[in-house]
Structures are given as C-alpha cells and as structure tokens.
C-alpha cells in the first residue's frame, strides 16, 4: 500500500525494499524461473493470435457492458440469485455487510478476490462486528500479518517459510517448524474448522457469463469450492469487467489466464456455478446466493477512448512477473493494492491520484509487461499517459517543464549541450568520462561512470564525413538522436564506416533534434509532440527510402511513439504514419535490406562476444535476431548471455530518477554478462552502451562494451586497428 | 478428430504431469476392486504428513476427533446395483461406506469415489457435474479423490465440450467442476505443495469400453 507523501518518501521505502535480502533473492529466483515455465505451458499454442483474440473478446464485451449486465441479471435472477450493482467500493462493502446482517451471519469464510482487496472489504466487515477468515493460504498469511498482497496471484511471495512458521506458531500456540509441506497442512487443518462454523462464504469470480447467468472461478487450493459449498449463504463479488457474453469467451480467456499467471496449463479447479446450488445447510436445501458487481469507475473507464483497454486485464499478474523494477522492489512498493504495471494504472483509477503519483514515475519503459500481457494492453504507454495526466492536473515539476522547454527548442538545446561541454572540462580531466560527478548529481548516481560530452558533435563532423556515393542502391536519412550526436559521435562514424562501399547514400538532415522520448518519459506530452513535428519536417521523408537510426530507443519512439502522439484523422497523424513506416534500425537495415554477410568482412577474429538486447529493439521493434546474425557474420565468436532480453537498468531519465534501482538492475545484468566469459559485449543502443560501459568500468571488469556499429566497423576494416 | 487411443495417451500424460495417478481398468468391477484395495491399503485419516499427533489449535483438534475410527469410503449417487457391489467389497475389507450426509464428516473421509462426465486430454482435466451436494463434497473433503472416467468420454480440448457445457450452465443450480490434479499451492516461497484444502491426491481410473 502506498503511504508515502512524496517522491522522497517513496524513494525511502524503495530503499528499504532493496535492502531486503530475502525479498531480493525470492524475486530473482522467480524472475528467472517464470519465463521458462510460461513457455512450457504455452507450447504448441499460437500466443500472439490468442492474445489478439482475447483483446477482441474483451473489447467487444466492454463496449456493451450495460447490456451484458442486464442479460446476466435477468438469467441469474430467474435462477433465484439476488444481483447487486455497487457504485463504488463503499457501496459494495455496505451491500455485503447488509447481506450478512439480514441473513443472521456472523462468521464468514472468504476465498481470494482482488476485488475485495480493492474495496478493503475485510476492514469494513470487521468494523461491522463480523468475523472474516481468508482461506487461500497466501491471503490467510497476509491477513494474519495485517498486510496487503504483494502479488495478485501470489499474495505472500515476499515472505519466507520462517516468517510463515513464526506466524503459524502464534496462531496454533504451538511451535511449528519451517517446513513448507507441513505449514501447508497446518493451514489445511486450521482452516477446515472455519468452513464448518461459517454462515456465509464470499468468493470472487473470474467470469460472469451473460447468456446463462453463470459464474466461473479458477483456483488451485480448493478453498473457493468449499467457501462456495459449505456455508448457507454465498456472495460472489466481482468487477463488472468480468462480464463476458458466452461460455466460449470464458474458455478462450482461460486458455491464457493460468498459463500466463503461473505457467500452469490449467488451474487445479475451474468451477462453473449457475444460481443457488443444493445446500443442506440452506433454507429449503438451497443456498442463498448474491452476486455483487462493482463499478467503482469501470463503466466510465469502458467509455474512455485511451484507457478502456485497461479493463481487458484478466488479473494474471504476468506484468509483475517480468517487470525488472518489480523484481527489485517487490509488490508493496510497486502498486497500492493492484500490483505491477497494470497496478500502477489501476491505482490511479480505483484509488486516486495521490496513491498513484509516485508509482507511475517508477516505470523504466522496457516494454516487458506489454510483451507478456494476456490481453495485449499497451501498459507502458498507458503508464506514461497517466503520468502526463497527473502532471496536467497538479502542475508540472520545475525540472520537468524546463526540460520540456529546452527539448522543444532545438537551437537552445544544442547551445546548452555545447556550453556543457566547456563547463565539464574541470571534471573530465581530459578523459572521455566525467571523472567526478558535478554537483547536480547525487552520490547515488555514482554506480556507473558517465561519459563526457564529445569534443566535436557529429553534426559538426558531418561535412567532412559525408560519404560520396555515385550510384546509390539505397537513399538513407540518418537519425542520430541527441546522445549519439553529442556524446557518442564515434558510434555514428562507425556506422558510416560499416556501410562503406555497399551502395548506401547517407544524408544527415541538420534540422533534426532529440527524438522527444525523454520529454514523453517525464510526462511532457506537448513538448514530445512539438519535437516530433520538427523532426518529421527536418527528415524530409519523401527524399529517402529509409530513416536509419543507431539508437534503439529513438527507433522505437519514432516508429510507435510518433503516430500515438497525434489524434486520428489529423494531417500530423498521417505524416507520422508515413514517417514511421520508413524508420528502420541499423541492424535490420544491414541484415535485411543491404543483406551484409561474411563476405563483407575481413578474416574472422574469433573474439568471444556476447550481446545485450536493448528493450526498445527486441520488444519495441520486435527485432530479436539481426544484431546476433551480424555479430556472427562479422566473424566474432558469439556466446549468448542469460536473460539477454532483460533491461540493463538505463531507461533514459529513469536511471537518474531512481539511481539505486537502476544500479541493482545493472548489477544483475553485468553478472549475466560475466558468466559468458566474453571479452566483448555488443549492444545496439547508445543508452545501453552508456550504462553497461560505465557499470563495467566502475566494477573494474575487463570488458569491452561496443555499439554494434563499432564492432562491425572494426571487423570490416581490421587493418585500421 | 484424434483417435481414442491418442486421446487417452494425451490425457494420461497431462494428468500425470500434475500429480494425478492414472490407471486403466478393464471393467467397472475392476474399478471397484481398485478403489477398495486403495482404501484398504491406506493409512486412516492422515491429515498431516507427520500424522495426527502434530499439535494444532483446539478447534482444529476437535474437528479431527470427529473422524471415524474405521476407514471411510464416500460414494454418493451410485446406481443401486453398483452400490451393492461396492458395499459387499467394503464389508469384506472392514471399510465404512457412506453415501450421504458428508457434511457431518468434515473431519476426514479417506476416499471419495465419483464418476467423471468427461475428460479433457489437452490439460488432463476431469469434468464432473457436482450439482448434487454430496458429490461435490466427495470431491472436496476426501483425502484421496478417485474418479472413474469412461475412455470414450475424453475429448481433445475444452472447446469440444462447449455445447454440453453451455447446456449444463443454463440449468439453475448447476455446479460443474473442472478438476485437474490434486489441490495445490505455491504460496510459500513458490514451492509447490500438493494437498491444500482439497484432496491430497487424485486417482483417475480410465474405464475401457
């Protein structure tokens, strides 16, 4: 839960999480194990098609929520269910308490429901004098500890067996050993007694099927079945977004839900209930059954043109499973009640701006969540949209609005960079690194050495470097991005060198500036839009076949970010789509267009080389193979690293905003690199180079970190070296 | 449409993957023999791996004390002739056969015997109409759940059951269960533990012909 008053307070809580050794090692183990078990569960299934199908099913159902609700209600009430619609959390809690009071129920058993967490149902019922016992093992544990869940599917993942043993020792008033099998059986026996006594059972539901009025519940432990069977009253609480038209819809979703959540092909139990079932304890041998649908802003959200897709979420929790930041800080610092990427967004809608304002800044924008989402939700984009929205509502912080002003004015931005080169002299000592960090950076930034601003930016070198190609096979406009232009011009030079003699005519339009991603990341959407318009005009799209960029982040932002900046039907939107269609990454251009092969390189040198996949290349542009193919073609001895596609922790402005998290992500990355035994690490983004080179240097690793262009240029002309 | 043999093989492999114990039986009598043997060979009421002597809170201990001294086999809803054949076998083995009022036996049932209405090969899943409360409880509170699944009722995927399931869901008071393996959790340190609130083990008897 979020209690921090401001970003400073939030960072302090994060620090506590980073120092929690058990949490860190549990999260690491999970992050490594999850992708493999997920892949096994999905074997033989066309995942992108399934995801697209689920997105379409959910969108179609969300578009007619009211209709589905009416249909469901008609069928369910015909079976004897009382259907309730709760406007907000408080109403849901009140309705459920009233059901208990009216039915003379005092003791309640409950199975897992994120919706009940959302409404803080237990607090309310307890305040009404009712006894509520959570029966899902993880939920029971956190209830006993008076905590919220730290994962949507594995609520107690932050706790060790020893902590659970201590807790269970208190509950049973007898010493319990920290042996997991045994602790599980303790919960089995302790909780079995509770079902017997309970008058009312509360469950959640994964599906509410409109054409029959049935609900579907997926579980593993078997507790929800007991909760729905033994007590005489059954209350099922769910968000109205759980409504689907038919059983077929539910079965589709359930193909992905367990596989994505826990790597299971199906959960132990999937239970389909239509109306009050036979129940010996109930009046006339039947249950009293209530279904409570929670709105809490969902119906309005379903009509929102940008955010409606949030309601596609099936609550599998996979966005947390793959998030590099969640892995570092755990769920209590990566959500309020809902956890993970979807949690950052839902917090804003369900629990308000104040709970969400710090959280939404803690997205590194690596896109891992989007790539794993069972419903194809564009999570990183929506997180940024919320960040922007919060800043628009509450005012933009000075640092952020200054950055926006500077970025939107190319002349000013470039003058400042040139001035900074002069100003940095005393702290570089004539080396290409910032030897001592300037005052504006804190000590926390010191986990990697940062490069200095280059003596001569690429744009000033261009008149000399410009290659003359008489009969070009391809006309290319080079988009440099500000980092390569001003900090790493040598990477662009290497890029030119690696394309020499291949018939590529390169232009470098001088009117180009920063791609605008940093502004977007800071929640400065208007500035991002202005920069985009300038760049689109500068790059003179009509005069080139391709816009090549050596920066994966720029490439991804130019390709996917630009079209999203403008409204449908506008001239800018049309321009942005034409522009983005021409953008291509350096590696894909060389590999797929120019088709460069071993014959273009000197004799193989066989240096052991590994590769880090930039987030914005592998997920942003779905380019997984080209850089590695080029490394091999260039005669290097390729050694793959574990977690090749996991973020390096840079994330542009992220690494300066959350340096301690960035440093920890980098540490894991460098450990994976070190285990390959490679002498050279190649990647394709100047940001990743900056982070990895600076980190390796700070750690004293004898590792040469190169941009792919540099590695290829060396291999094309080994005699020069 | 895959052959019956392919479906049985696939079903068995997937069910075993999630810890179910799958056997093939040639006839219903063989199935009953199997269940009775299993019950006779089982320790009575083993709530805890370590046995019932493990200390617990008073209410939990009290509930445990309600378990019958003899081994209990619950087999609700059997056809009369089948019930007689099972009852005979139980008597011969000193097993207490119960058919109803399972609510009174929450302290422990050794084996719950039910039929499955269908099997789903892709996931090794049993589909059981559990609208009858006794059937429901037999699949929930027994330590070992044994399900008899006629081989001809195995289909490839859940989608193949969409029509009959849709009809079942349209019936008021329906409770249809998909059961895959025994109850499980990974809530403590993500370590898989089998046997939480539901059965500690699931045995599936695939009935030929």
Residue A442: its pLDDT value, please? 59
Measured between CA atoms, the residue of chain A closest to residue B200 is A185
- Rounded to the nearest angstrom, the minimum Cα separation between A231 and chain B is 11
Nearest to A191 among B122, B186, B197 (CB): B197
B48 contacts in A (CB within 8 Å)?
182, 185-186, 189
Q: Which residue has the tokens 């009640």?
A: A337
Give the pairing of strands B193-194 and B184-185: antiparallel
Cβ neighbors of B21 (< 8 A, separation 6 or more) are B201, B202, B203, B204
pLDDT confidence band for A715 (50 / 70 / 90):
very high
Distance between CA atoms of A586 and A589, rounded to whole angstroms? Answer: 5
Residue A612: its pLDDT value, please? 98
Cβ neighbors of B114 (< 8 A, separation 6 or more) are B75, B76, B77, B128, B135, B138, B139, B145, B146, B147, B148
pLDDT confidence band for A540 (50 / 70 / 90):
confident
Nearest to A188 among B132, B181, B197 (CB): B197
Answer for the pair A297, A348: CB distance below 8 angstroms, yes or no.
no
Residue A429: its pLDDT value, please? 67
pLDDT tens by residue, A130-185:
999 999 999 999 999 999 999 988 999 999 999 999 999 999 999 999 999 999 99
Helix, strand or coil, per DSSP, at residue A615: helix
What are phi and psi for residue A652, nearest 5 degrees? 60, -125
**Closest by Cα among A66, A374, A470 to A240:** A66
Distance between CA atoms of B201 and A190, rounded to whole angstroms? Answer: 19
| Integer angstrom CA distances of residue A139 from A84, A134, A163, A209, A370 | 25, 6, 14, 26, 27
- Rounded to the nearest angstrom, the minimum Cα separation between A280 and chain B is 8
pLDDT tens by residue, A255-288:
999 999 999 999 999 999 999 999 999 989 999 9
SS3 content of chain A, % helix, strand, coil (to 5): 55, 10, 35
Nearest to A137 among B133, B137, B187 (CB): B187
A475: left (phi over 0), alpha (psi -120 to 50) or beta: beta
pLDDT confidence band for A434 (50 / 70 / 90):
low
Residues 259-298 of chain A with CB under 8 A from chain B are 262, 264-281, 286
B166·A137 Cβ contact <8 A: no
Distance between CA atoms of A479 and A512, rounded to whole angstroms? Answer: 7
pLDDT tens by residue, A463-519:
999 999 989 999 999 999 999 999 999 999 999 999 999 999 999 999 999 999 999
What are phi and psi for residue B129, nearest 5 degrees? -70, 110
**Closest by Cα among A597, A585, A567, A605 to A685:** A585
Q: For the purposes of burial, counting CB atoms within 10 Å of the CB of A398, is it exposed (0-12), middle (13-18) or buried (19 or more)?
A: exposed
Q: Work out the mean pLDDT of chain A and round it to a whole number.
A: 94
Which domains are seen in chain B, by residue range? 4-207 (3.40.50.10420)
Distance between CA atoms of B77 and A52, rounded to whole angstroms? Answer: 43
**Has residue A50 got a pLDDT over 70?**
yes
Residue A721: its pLDDT value, please? 39
- Rounded to the nearest angstrom, the minimum Cα separation between B92 and chain A is 31
A189 contacts in B (CB within 8 Å)?
47-48, 56, 60, 63-64
**Has residue A427 got a pLDDT over 70?**
no
| Angle at which helices A47-63 and A247-262 cross, to 10° | 130
Torsion on CA atoms A454, A457, A460, A461, rounded to nearest 10: 70
A-B contacts at Cβ under 8 angstroms: 222
First to last CA, chain A: 56
Q: Does A32 touch chain B (CB under 8 A)?
A: no
Residue A718: its pLDDT value, please? 53
Distance between CA atoms of A539 and A510, rounded to whole angstroms? Answer: 9
**Closest by Cα among A474, A482, A425, A422 to A458:** A482
Which domains are seen in chain A, by residue range? 1-41+317-393 (no CATH), 65-299 (3.40.50.10420), 396-721 (no CATH)
Residues 614-643 of chain A with CB under 8 A from chain B are none
pLDDT tens by residue, A581-616:
999 999 999 999 999 999 999 888 889 999 999 999
B172·A78 Cβ contact <8 A: yes
């Amino acid at each position: 839960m979020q209690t921090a008053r401001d970003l400073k307070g939030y960072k302090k809580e994060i620090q506590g999480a980073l120092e929690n050794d058990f949490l860190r090692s549990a999260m690491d183990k999970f992050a490594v194990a999850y992708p493999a078990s997920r892949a096994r569960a999905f074997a033989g299934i066309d995942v992108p098609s399934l995801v697209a199908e689920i997105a379409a099913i959910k969108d179609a159902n969300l578009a007619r929520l009211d209709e589905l609700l009416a249909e469901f209600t008609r069928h369910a009430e015909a079976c004897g269910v009382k259907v309730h619609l709760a406007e907000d959390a408080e109403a849901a809690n009140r309705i459920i308490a009233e059901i208990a009071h009216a039915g003379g129920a005092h003791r309640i058993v409950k199975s897992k429901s994120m919706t009940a967490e959302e409404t803080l149902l237990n607090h309310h019922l307890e305040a009404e004098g009712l006894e509520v016992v959570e029966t899902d093992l993880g939920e029971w544990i956190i209830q006993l500890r008076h905590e919220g869940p730290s994962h949507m599917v594995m609520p107690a993942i932050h706790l060790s067996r020893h902590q659970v043993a201590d807790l269970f020792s208190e509950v049973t008033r007898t010493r319990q050993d920290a042996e997991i099998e045994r602790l599980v059986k303790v919960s089995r026996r302790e909780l079995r007694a509770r079902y017997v006594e309970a008058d009312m059972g509360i469950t959640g539901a994964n599906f509410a099927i409109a054409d029959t009025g049935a609900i579907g519940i997926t579980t593993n432990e078997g507790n929800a079945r007991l909760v729905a069977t033994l007590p005489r009253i059954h209350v099922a609480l769910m968000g109205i977004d759980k409504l689907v038209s038919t059983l077929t819809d539910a079965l589709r979703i359930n193909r992905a839900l367990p596989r994505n959540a826990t790597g299971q092909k199906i959960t132990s139990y999937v239970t389909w209930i239509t109306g009050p079932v036979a129940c010996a304890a109930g009046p006339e041998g039947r249950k009293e059954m209530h279904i409570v649908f929670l709105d809490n802003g969902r119906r309005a959200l379903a009509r929102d043109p940008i955010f409606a897709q949030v309601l596609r979420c099936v609550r599998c929790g996979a966005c947390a499973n793959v998030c590099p930041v969640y892995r570092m800080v755990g769920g209590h610092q990566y959500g309020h009640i809902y956890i993970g990427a979807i949690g950052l967004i839902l917090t804003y809608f369900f629990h308000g701006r104040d709970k969400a304002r710090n959280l939404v800044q803690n997205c590194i924008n690596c896109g891992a969540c989007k790539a794993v989402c069972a419903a194809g939700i564009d999570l990183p984009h929506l997180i940024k949209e919320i960040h922007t929205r919060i800043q628009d509502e509450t005012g933009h912080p000075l640092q952020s609005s200054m950055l926006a002003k500077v970025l939107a004015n190319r002349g000013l931005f470039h003058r400042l960079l040139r001035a900074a080169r002069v100003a940095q002299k005393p702290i570089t000592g004539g080396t290409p690194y910032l030897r001592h960090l300037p005052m504006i950076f804190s000590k926390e930034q010191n986990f990697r050495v940062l490069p200095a601003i280059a003596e001569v930016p690429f744009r000033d070198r261009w008149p000399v470097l410009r290659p003359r190609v008489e009969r070009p096979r391809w006309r290319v406009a080079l988009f440099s991005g500000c980092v390569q232009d001003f900090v790493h011009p040598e990477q662009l030079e290497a890029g030119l060198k690696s394309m020499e003699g291949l018939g590529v005519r390169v232009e470098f339009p001088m009117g180009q500036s920063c791609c605008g991603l940093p502004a977007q990341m800071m929640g400065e959407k208007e500035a991002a839009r202005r920069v985009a318009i300038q760049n689109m005009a500068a790059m003179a799209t009509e005069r080139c076949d391709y816009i090549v960029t050596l920066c994966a982040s720029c490439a991804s932002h130019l390709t996917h970010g630009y079209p999203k900046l403008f409204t449908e039907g506008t001239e800018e939107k049309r321009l942005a789509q034409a522009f983005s269609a021409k953008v291509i990454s350096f590696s894909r251009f060389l590999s797929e267009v120019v088709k460069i092969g071993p014959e273009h390189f000197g004799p193989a040198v066989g240096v052991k080389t590994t590769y880090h996949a930039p987030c914005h290349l592998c997920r942003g542009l779905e380019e997984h193979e080209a850089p590695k193919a080029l490394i091999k073609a260039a005669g290097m001895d390729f050694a793959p690293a574990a977690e090749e596609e996991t973020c390096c922790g840079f994330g542009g402005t992220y690494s300066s905003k959350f340096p301690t998290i960035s440093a920890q992500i980098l540490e894991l990355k460098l450990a994976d690199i070190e285990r390959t035994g490679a002498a050279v690490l190649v990647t394709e983004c100047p940001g990743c180079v900056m982070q990895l080179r600076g980190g390796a240097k700070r750690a004293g690793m004898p590792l040469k970190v190169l941009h792919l262009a540099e590695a290829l240029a060396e291999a094309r002309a080994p005699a020069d070296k | 449409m895959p052959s019956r043999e392919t479906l049985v093989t696939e079903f068995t492999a997937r069910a075993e993957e999630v810890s179910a114990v799958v056997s093939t039986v040639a006839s219903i009598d063989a199935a009953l023999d199997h269940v009775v043997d299993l019950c006779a060979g089982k320790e009575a009421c083993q709530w805890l791996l370590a046995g019932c002597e493990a200390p617990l809170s008073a209410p939990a201990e009290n509930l445990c004390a309600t378990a019958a001294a003899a081994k209990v086999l619950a087999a609700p809803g059997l056809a009369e002739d089948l019930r007689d054949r099972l009852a005979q076998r139980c008597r011969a083995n000193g097993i207490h056969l119960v058919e109803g009022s399972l609510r009174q036996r929450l302290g422990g049932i050794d084996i719950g015997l039910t039929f499955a209405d269908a099997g789903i090969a892709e996931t090794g899943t049993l589909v059981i109409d559990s609208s009858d409360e006794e059937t429901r409880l037999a699949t929930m509170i027994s330590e070992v759940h044994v399900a008899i699944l006629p081989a001809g009722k195995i289909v490839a995927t859940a989608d193949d059951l969409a029509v009959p399931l849709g009809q079942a869901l349209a019936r008021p008071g329906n409770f249809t269960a998909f059961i895959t393996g025994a109850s499980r959790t990974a809530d403590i340190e993500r370590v898989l533990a089998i046997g939480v609130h539901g059965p500690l083990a699931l045995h599936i008897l695939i009935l030929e012909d």
